[in-house]
Chains A and B, each alone.
Chain A
Amino acid sequence: MAAAAVNTDKANPEGGDESASSASASGEVLPFAAIYRQYFDFVWSSVRRLGVSPASMDDVVQEVFIVIHARLHTLQHAETLRSWIYGVTRRTVSGYHRARRVKDASAVALAVEPSVQQLPRTPFDLVEQNDQVKLLFSLLEELEEPKREVFSMVELDDLTVPEIAEILEIPLNTAYSRLRAARQAFEEALARHSARSVRGR
């Protein structure tokens, strides 16, 4: 996905082409230190929301910023910086989950490894202190994956719909309609939860 956000990625998969550094050289892109300050919260929240365990947060967030640092010169359009960072984050977290699967499973056990759907997608399992947070993520679990993804990206990661359309490589109208459906599904899930709570009293 990040490859879509950074036009030079496909042409320069190893990031070793110094000719692609025009964006940073021209000053269109923020210096890395400024990016760190400005986007740390965004990266951290996204990494956590994407299901990285608290014990691994530091490592994964560092990894995201290392990739950003190394590949910033490939960013041609400064206005896509946030969606580009999100793409880097998403891929890094995806790699983390895959590495964990490989690590956790023995060679034989790989045959019965859990599917992606069974992996923690949210910090729900890890957040015990807040009933509202638990409720939020339990409701999100009821949504279909495409809707949950868009809902979470807008409501929790604070991305705009055009950014989401770019990251997910879907038409803008599709992104809007998916968000509308996701919000509706979330409200319905909340209504069902409320109804169950009332009946349980």
Chain B
Amino acid sequence: MGPVLSAVELTKRFGAVTAVDDLSFEVEAGSVTGFLGPNGAGKTTTLRMLLGLAEPTHGRALVFGRRFAELERPAARVGAVLEASDLHPGRTGRDHLRVLARAARVPLGRVGEVLTLVELGDVADRRVAGYSLGMRQRLGLAAALLGDPELLILDEPGNGLDPEGVRWLRDFLREFADQGRTVFVSSHHLAEVAQTVDRLVIINRGRLVVEAPLRELVDATASLEDVFLELTAEPST
């Protein structure tokens, strides 16, 4: 079986700005892979290309060996959350999920299941306008889980979660990967990442810095923060 995700010479330019620059990496099944980089490193742009939302200028972004748009029933294979704020404020949480369940060809009964899974059952019938950032994160995750996917792609899922929520998310992702499924998660929370992930893909200025198992990078003498700051440091002139 090939890699779950692969970026092959992936490049994205916006006018004169090269957001992603000849980036190649792979994500294997059954792992939690952290996707790290400073602000503006090109993480979200890379995720958007993997999900077919943005067209690469050059190179390929493949999911299960195909372009995202070529997947049959993508919701059953890939769940993804890019922005916790991608919700209509006037719609209830439950209705947001029902709308997506319809399009994903998922029975509406699944909506109640994923609401319970992310512990939003009590507020599901309130309009999203009244949700905290943490609740929006959970709702986004619930949507990603509708199709019971093999792969989760999450962009900064810990933003806005309280400590209890962070622990819940960590346990959830661990359990998800322990079932042989795959998580690809971007994050800024290095201490959190160090507790959650098996592998790391670190980029800076759109280019790959390192792709390695966490244990090869981090040991008793160097924390993930040390390694990250060293690898992504601006060259001193």
Q: Are both chains from one complex?
A: no
